[in-house]
Each structure stands twice: as C-alpha cells, then as structure tokens.
Amino acid sequence: MLHSRKLQYIDEIARCGSIRKAAARLNVASSAINRQILALEEELGAQIFERLPRGLRLTAAGELCIEHIRDVLKAYDKLETRVRGLKMPQVGRVSMISTVGLAAGPLPELIARFVEKHPRMRIQLAIDGATTTANPVLSGEVDLGIGFNIPATPGLRTLATFDIPIGVVLPPDHPLAGEEGPVDLAKVLQEPLVLAQPGMSLRTMINLILSPLPMSVEPVVETGAPETLRHLVKRGTGLTFLNPLDVIGDCRRGELVFRPLVESQRRHQPMKLFARARATLDTATSLFVEFLLGELGALVEELEAKGHVPPQRQPAELRS
C-alpha cells in the first residue's frame, strides 16, 4: 500500500469510538493500534483523541486529521479501481447515503436497474440514522447524498434538485380515493391518521401543513418507518401524509392511492442530490449520477402527468 496502516487504524477508531472495537474489526492487537496513535500524536505535537471513561472522541486536531485521512484512503481506493479498470473495464464503486423514506421507496428499484445495466459496479448504500444525511458526505465517508429538506451547507454542492409536495395516501377502497383532483385537509382530518414520528423532517412539514387549522391532531400511530406507514394505510388503520415518490410503486400496483392537497394547503419538500464541494467525482460515480438523474427525471415526469407534482425546473447541470 502507498499509505501507512495507521491511517486505517485511526479511521476505524473514529468510526467506532473504541480501540478495542477497532482492533476487533481490523483483526490486530489493541496495543499495536495504541502505539500507532501515540506515535502520530507525537509526530503532530497534538492529541488526536480525547480519552474518555468509555472510549475515545476526536479532538479539534483529530477532526482535521480524520478529514485528511479519509481523503487519502478514498484517493487510494480510486487509484486501485483505476488500476483494476486497466485490466477489467467498467469496474467501479459508488458510495451513497439516503434518507429513510427514499431508501424505503423508489431507490432500491433504481439501484437494481443500474446494477443490472452495469454488473461490475458496486454500490454501497447507507441510511441516515443518528447522523444527518449531509455529515457523511462532508466528512468524505461517502461520495453522494440524496434526501429531502437538505439545507444549503458550506462544503456541499448540489447536483440536482426536484420539488416534491406532500399529499394524502389512502387505501384504494377509501371513499376519498375515488374522487378527482386535490383533496381538502378538512376531509382528511375526519379520518384516523398514522403519521411520521416527531423529530423527523417529514413530520415537521406535516406540522406546518396542519398548523393553520383550529383543531388538534391525535394520530393513532406514530412511527419513524415510512414502510410501516404504508402498511398501516393498506390495512385500513388510518390515512397518512407522504410524498408521491414514497408510494409510487404501491400506486402503480393499485395497492395505495396518492392525492395532492389543494394548492393553498400544499407544502413542498425539495429533494436534493449532492456531493462534497471539493471532491471530484470519479468515472463510476459520474456514471451513476447520470443514470440516477435520468431515472428520477422520468419518475417526476410521470408524477407531473398525474398532477401530483408541479412542473419542474431542469435539474442542476452535473459538474464533476
């Protein structure tokens, strides 16, 4: 390798917060990892990790160090991919993080199509959990991020944005499902509701939609899993609010119905595909982005034709 093993050691400790756990994952002795940390801290003249009773935490110097380390490791991975590509064209790896809703909605089908078209490509898909969708992209852990309501952030560049409104999701045998055009909230709130749990960006948007109304809303179920919301609606437990991309597959199969809200009550979620501002997209990632934009564009056009989303501006031009 063209770089020291100590870079991998430090990266792994930063990820799991423990020398013991890092040693187990890397299959090396804890003492060997500890020696490398101490040697690097002596070389830099600063502590990389703060020693805590239950593990280690990066110091300010450590944060700078880990950013550099991940740049080096990622650059080496790209070098390996390019060298392999000299013998075996079209080999590549793409790493990406997605919000929960997209990962439970259209994204798996799109990734499956890409892999079928490019069988030598490798996709690593992470789902945002305790962290925000932007952080792993900013730190260099992944190449791309996709999600809703991602704020403008220094260090990130937007590759494309689509405007997706929230609407009502119903079972196909519900009386409101057979009506045409947008639906008024007053009708929806006469029904039991199953909603995204407080703290989720989706719930924040739902609360904004409901805030002008004089009545309070008491959902029968709250959950952080969009697939659970879809299942509950299918079972007739209640209606929910999602965006049309969340349920496009269910609607095509006739298992659910999406209806937009009337214009005065409608709220939009910007869906953003983004990358790190300073990073150059390699060939594999650029190919995946091009494919993804084409597929997402086709989905949005389908939703436009149904009146579920407004006409879109052209997505931002891809810049590698």
State pLDDT tens for residues 27-58: 888 888 888 888 888 888 888 888 888 888 88
Type of residue found at 65:
C
pLDDT at 318: 45
Which tokens go with 35?
């020696």
Write the CA distances from 206 to 11, 110, 129, 156, 298, integer angstroms.
39, 27, 20, 27, 26
In the predicted structure, residue 157 carries a pLDDT above the cut 70: yes
pTM over cut 0.85: no
pLDDT digit string, tens, across residues 237-253:
999 999 999 999 999 99
Span 5-66 CATH architecture? Orthogonal Bundle (1.10)
Residue with tokens 């799991």, as numbered in its chain: 16
- For all residues of the chain together, what is the average pLDDT? 86
Q: List every span in the chain annotated with CATH 3.40.190.10.
A: 90-164+269-305, 167-266
pLDDT at 59 over 60: yes
pLDDT attached to residue 88: 52
Strand partners, 184: none
In the chain, CATH 1.10.10.10 sits at 5-66
**pLDDT confidence of 1, banded at 50, 70, 90?**
very low
Measured in whole angstroms, the distance separating CA 313 from the mean position of its chain's CA atoms is 22
86 pLDDT band, cuts 50/70/90, is: low
Collapsed DSSP state (helix, strand, coil) of residue 273 = strand
The residue assigned the tokens 């209806």 is: 259
- In angstroms, the Cα distances linking 14 to 30, 67, 77, 135 are 15, 11, 19, 14
Residue 62 has pLDDT above 90, yes or no: no
The CATH H-level superfamily of 90-164+269-305 is Periplasmic binding protein-like II (3.40.190.10)
First to last CA, the chain: 27
**What CA–CA distance (Å, rounded) separates 284 from 123?**
10
Q: What is the pLDDT of residues 168-214, one digit of tens each?
A: 999 999 999 988 889 999 999 999 999 999 988 889 899 999 988 88
CA 146, CA 246: separation in Å to the nearest integer?
A: 14
Residues 6 or more apart in contact with residue 213 via CB below 8 angstroms: 185, 189
CATH 3.10.310.30: does it fit domain 167-266? no
Q: Cα torsion for 269, 270, 275, 281, to the nearest 10°?
A: 120
Residue 283 and residue 90: Cα distance in Å, rounded? 9
